[in-house]
């Protein structure tokens, strides 16, 4: 799961003047994007409406990420800016509430209020259903820190998703099916910030997916930090894995495209691989992070598989779905990583061939075993390795996209383009595809012929080829 997804622009409708307004800013991964929507919905039931502008906000909610040091520090610089804004407000006789949610909230708790007294409340990811109570206490002037892992299921307690709200949010949607992580990779904070692995029940997921479809959503991405470890009891009492769940969701009218992220290589079971062979709705794109190619480093990271096991797994997935594109996450400069280890990672990347990837310099995180290891790699070495790794991955990405030139592909039309006369859709492999607006309307899945590429987009200059739906 990558932490580059920003909350979608333009998803917020203008607020009626008499309602309180909340400005939600989302950092981190797709799970935070999903949570932000659920929090906005919970606050909606409490009389708040979302605003896209800080200037008229009565409340600011930062949904934060703790994955790397830079991600966590961003929050404090934002809080510095908000302090100034709040001072100005108070000078002119009005005020605003400031809340911190997400993984920094869970990891740092009260420390946030100590370091940034401008913050009124801190709420961890497992307690969002308590948000309205927390806000009302904060409005009365209490400083509130709510970071206990709740025993009750937050999804059960959050208000049901509202069809009108969903409609405003577009034709693609996230749906969290699994939370937390029990894997404890030695570099990673997620098991501490999100807690133990929990799967949402089948009935809850299917009901939410139906509602999304009713609201015009055509592509759903199932989310979890270990989404392919999802398992649940089916209506007939049998135990389902993610492959079976996908088969069920593929039956829902209107849900034409399914994806899931992020998967761990160790949880790719036979049935899930077979679902890629059997389900047309399951998009031929898989984010399957490997982090490193050296067996010694993989072991030190506690990934519990080798480079060759990953290669063989990819072979099996490609045998089931030959047009599948792979994406991955990589960390350079994990403690003890030598030049030889790094070359193993480069070799693995060359062997696999990625359509897309996210790569990071190792960032020691407080409380994780990796942070205490000797042999931390110097920054300069990390920079050099990241540069080489990203050059190779960048070339693979360009090759993949250029390989689509001249091909006719299916595109889900999502939003108007930047230039007049354009409409932007999404390819099966997640690239934006810029099309001529006459190819169809938002929500249509159309076939277009790719004529060229730009840095990150596919471009179809031509007119409609054929409409599938
Ligand atoms: N659950 C996902 C990963 C979630 S974190 C998985 O197991 O693949 C997203 C990515 O951030 C990770 O895949 C990893 O590449 C990166 N990451 C996590 N902790 C990091 C750290 N301490 N330093 C640098 N990158 C890190
Ligand atoms: Fe972090 Fe590893 Fe869990 Fe992914 S599987 S969330 S990298 S501990
Ligand atoms: Fe960041 Fe938390 Fe997601 S640490 S990557 S927001 S699970």
Cα 464–468–469 angle (5° rounding)?
Answer: 110
| pLDDT value of residue 462 | 66
Among the bound ligands, name the one nearest to the CA of residue 108. Answer: 3
Per-residue model confidence as pLDDT tens digits over 288-338: 999 999 999 999 999 999 999 999 999 999 999 999 999 999 999 999 999
Q: Bigger pLDDT: 56 or 360?
A: 360
Q: What is the pLDDT of residue 464?
A: 53
* Integer Cα distance of 170 and 219 in angstroms: 10
What confidence category does residue 17 fall into, taking pLDDT thresholds of 50, 70 and 90? low
Residue from 24, 29, 224 whose mutation best tests the ligand 3 pocket (most atoms within 8 A of CB): 29
Q: Distance between CA 346 and CA 363 in Å, rounded?
A: 20
Residue 292, CB half-sphere, CA atoms under 13 Å: how many?
Answer: 31
Distance CA 448, CA 439 (A): 8
- Please give the backbone phi and psi of residue 345, each rounded to the nearest 5 degrees, phi first: -65, -45
Give the pLDDT score at 469: 41
Confidence of residue 9 (pLDDT cuts 50, 70, 90): very low
The per-residue pLDDT for range 44-89, each reduced to its tens digit, is 888 899 999 998 899 999 999 999 999 999 999 999 999 999 999 9
Helix-, strand-, coil-residue percentages of the chain, each rounded to 5 = 40, 20, 40
User: Distances from the Cα of 13 to the Cαs of 53, 164, 210, in angstroms?
Assistant: 11, 11, 23
C-alpha span between 176 and 32 (Å, rounded): 10
Q: Does 289 contact ligand 1 (Cβ within 6 A)?
A: yes
DSSP string, 53-115: -GGG-SEEEEEE--SSHHHHHHHHHHHHHHHHHHHHHHHTT---EEEEEHHHHHHHTHHHHHH
The CA 346 to ligand 2 mean position distance, Å, reads 22
Cβ–Cβ under 8 Å, residues 78 and 25: yes
Nearest-angstrom CA–CA distance, 368 and 283: 35
Residue 110's φ and ψ, nearest 5 degrees, are: -60, -30
Question: For ligand 3, what atom is nearest to the CA of residue 125?
Answer: 2
Residue 1 has pLDDT above 60, yes or no: no
**So what's the pLDDT on residue 468?**
46
Check: CB of residue 121 under 8 Å from CB of residue 134: yes
SS3 458: strand
Q: Where are the beta strands (DSSP E) in 119-201?
A: 121-123, 144-146, 172-176, 178-179, 198-199
Residue 13 DSSP label: P
Contact 273, 312 (CB under 8 A): no
What's the confidence (pLDDT) of residue 6? Answer: 35
Predicted local distance difference test score (pLDDT) of residue 108: 95
Q: Are 25 and 61 in contact (CB under 8 A)?
A: yes
pLDDT over 90, % of the chain: 85
Residue 150 burial (CB < 10 Å; 0-12/13-18/19+)? middle
Q: What is the pLDDT of residue 149?
A: 79
CB atoms within 10 A of CB 61: 27
pLDDT in tens, 237-280: 999 999 999 999 999 999 999 999 999 999 999 999 999 999 99
The answer, yes or no, to whether the previous bond of 262 is cis (omega within 30 of 0) is yes
Assess whether pLDDT exceeds 60 at residue 12.
no
What local confidence, expressed as pLDDT, does residue 157 receive?
83
> How does pLDDT run across 184-229, given as a tens digit for each residue?
999 999 999 999 999 999 999 999 999 999 999 999 999 999 999 9
What are the tens digits of pLDDT across the range 116-151?
999 999 999 999 999 999 999 999 999 999 998 776
**Looking at residue 235, what is its pLDDT?**
86
For residue 32, pLDDT over 70 is answered with yes
Which ligand 2 atom minimizes the distance to the CA of 1?
4
pLDDT tier, 7 (very low <50, low <70, confident <90, very high otherwise): very low
Whether residue 225 has its Cβ less than 6 Å from ligand 2: yes
Cβ–Cβ under 8 Å, residues 199 and 178: yes
CA–centroid distance, residue 125 to ligand 1 (Å): 18
Question: For atom 1 of ligand 3, which residue has the closest CA?
Answer: 65
Query: Residue 18 has what pLDDT?
Result: 67
Of the pLDDT bands very low, low, confident and very high (cuts 50, 70, 90), residue 13 is: low
How far is ligand 1, taken at its centre, from the CA of residue 305, in Å?
16
**pLDDT computed for residue 156 by the predictor:** 82
Contact criterion met (CB below 8 Å) for 429 and 402: no
CA 157 to chain centre: 23
Angle at CA of residue 379, ends 62 and 360, nearest 5°: 50
Nearest in space to 206 (alpha carbons), one of 238, 246, 237, 239: 246
Read off the pLDDT band of 3 (50, 70, 90). very low
Residue identifier of the C-alpha nearest atom 1 of ligand 2: 188
Q: In 3D, which of 360, 380, 356 has the Cα closest to residue 370?
A: 360
Nearest-atom number in ligand 2 for the CA of 194 is: 6
**Mean of the per-residue pLDDT values for the chain?**
92
């Amino acid at each position: 799961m990558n932490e580059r997804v920003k909350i979608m622009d333009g998803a917020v409708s203008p607020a009626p003047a008499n309602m309180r307004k909340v400005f939600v800013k989302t950092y981190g991964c797709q799970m935070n994007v999903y949570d932000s929507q659920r929090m906005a919905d919970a606050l909606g039931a409490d009389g708040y409406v979302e605003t896209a502008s800080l200037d008229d906000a009565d409340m600011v909610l930062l949904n934060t990420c703790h994955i790397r040091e830079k991600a966590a520090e961003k929050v404090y610089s934002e809080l510095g800016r908000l302090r100034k804004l709040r001072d100005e407000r108070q000078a002119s006789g009005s005020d605003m509430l400031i809340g911190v949610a997400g993984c920094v909230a869970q990891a740092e708790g009260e420390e946030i209020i100590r370091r940034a007294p401008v913050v009124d409340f801190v709420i961890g990811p497992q307690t969002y259903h308590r948000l309205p109570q927390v806000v009302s206490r904060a409005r009365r002037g209490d400083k509130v820190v709510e970071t206990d892992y709740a025993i009750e299921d937050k999804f059960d307690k959050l208000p049901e998703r509202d069809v009108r709200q969903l409609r405003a949010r577009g034709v693609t949607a996230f749906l969290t099916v699994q939370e937390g992580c029990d894997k404890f990779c030695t570099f990673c904070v997620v098991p501490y910030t999100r807690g133990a692995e929990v799967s949402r029940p089948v009935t809850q997921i299917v009901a939410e997916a139906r509602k999304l479809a009713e609201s015009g959503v055509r592509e759903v991405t199932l989310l979890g930090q270990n989404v392919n470890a999802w398992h649940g009891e089916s209506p007939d009492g049998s135990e389902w894995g993610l492959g079976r769940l996908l088969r069920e969701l593929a039956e829902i009218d209107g849900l034409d495209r399914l994806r899931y992220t992020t998967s761990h290589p160790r949880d790719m079971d036979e049935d899930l691989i077979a679902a890629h062979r059997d389900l047309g709705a399951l998009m031929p794109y898989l984010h399957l992070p490997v982090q490193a190619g050296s067996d010694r480093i993989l072991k030190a990271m506690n990934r519990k598989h080798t480079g060759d096991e990953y290669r063989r797994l990819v072979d099996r997935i490609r045998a089931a779905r030959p047009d599948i594109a792979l994406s991955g996450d990589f960390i350079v400069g994990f403690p003890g990583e030598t030049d030889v280890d790094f070359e193993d990672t480069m070799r693995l990347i060359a062997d696999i061939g990625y359509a897309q990837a996210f790569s990071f310099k190792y960032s020691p995180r407080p409380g994780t075993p990796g942070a205490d290891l000797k042999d931390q790699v110097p920054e300069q070495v990390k920079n050099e390795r990241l540069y080489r790794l990203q050059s190779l991955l960048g070339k693979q990405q360009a090759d993949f996209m250029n390989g689509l030139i001249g091909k006719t592909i299916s595109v889900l039309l999502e939003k108007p383009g930047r230039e007049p006369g354009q409409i932007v859709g999404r390819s099966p492999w997640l690239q934006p595809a810029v099309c001529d607006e006459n190819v169809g309307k938002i929500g249509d899945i159309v076939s277009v012929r790719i004529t060229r590429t730009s840095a990150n987009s596919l471009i179809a200059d031509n007119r409609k080829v054929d409409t599938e739906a």
